[in-house]
C-alpha cells in the first residue's frame, strides 16, 4: 500500500453561535459522546487512508493543551513499543482529567 497523501483537518474551534445554547455544537453530546468524538472515530475507523488526522482546537486552548500533554508525556507514551491506539487512548485519558480540555475528549 502506498503512503496516503490525504490529510484530514477537523475544525473544532468554533463558538457554535448559530446552533444556539451555551455549549458549542462540537462539544454537545450525542449518544454519550461529543459530536467531535464521533467525527474523530469515523476517520479513525479508516486506518491507512490518511497521512494524518488533526483536530483543530481553539487558539486559547493550544498553549494549555501543549503544557498538559508535555506534563503527561510518560503517561501518553507509556512504553517503548507504544501503538497509535495506545497513544489515542492515553491522550483521551489525560484530556478527560483536565477540566479545560475535557471538552475535546470522548465523554464516557
Q: pLDDT for 64-77, tens place per residue?
A: 888 888 888 898 88
Taking the C-alpha atoms of residue 104 and residue 55, their distance in angstroms, rounded to an integer, is 9
Is the pTM higher than 0.75? The answer reads: no
pLDDT in tens, 32-66: 777 888 888 888 888 888 888 888 888 888 888 88
For 11, the grid coordinates are: 475544525
pLDDT for residue 53: 82
Q: Where are the domains of the chain?
A: 7-104
CA distances from 46 to 10, 20, 57, 62 (A): 15, 32, 22, 27
Per-residue model confidence as pLDDT tens digits over 10-24 = 888 777 788 887 778
Task: Judge whether 82 and 60 are in contact, CB under 8 Å.
Answer: no
Amino acid at each position: 500500500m502506498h503512503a496516503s497523501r490525504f490529510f484530514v483537518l477537523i475544525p473544532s474551534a468554533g463558538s457554535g453561535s448559530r446552533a444556539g445554547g451555551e455549549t458549542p455544537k462540537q462539544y454537545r453530546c450525542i449518544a454519550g459522546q461529543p459530536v467531535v468524538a464521533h467525527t474523530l472515530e469515523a476517520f479513525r475507523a479508516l486506518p491507512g487512508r490518511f497521512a494524518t488526522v488533526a483536530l483543530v482546537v481553539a487558539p486559547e486552548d493550544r498553549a494549555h493543551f501543549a503544557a498538559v500533554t508535555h506534563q503527561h508525556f510518560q503517561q501518553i507514551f507509556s512504553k517503548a513499543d507504544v501503538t497509535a491506539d495506545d497513544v489515542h487512548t492515553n491522550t483521551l485519558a489525560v484530556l478527560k482529567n483536565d477540566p479545560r480540555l475535557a471538552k475535546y475528549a470522548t465523554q464516557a
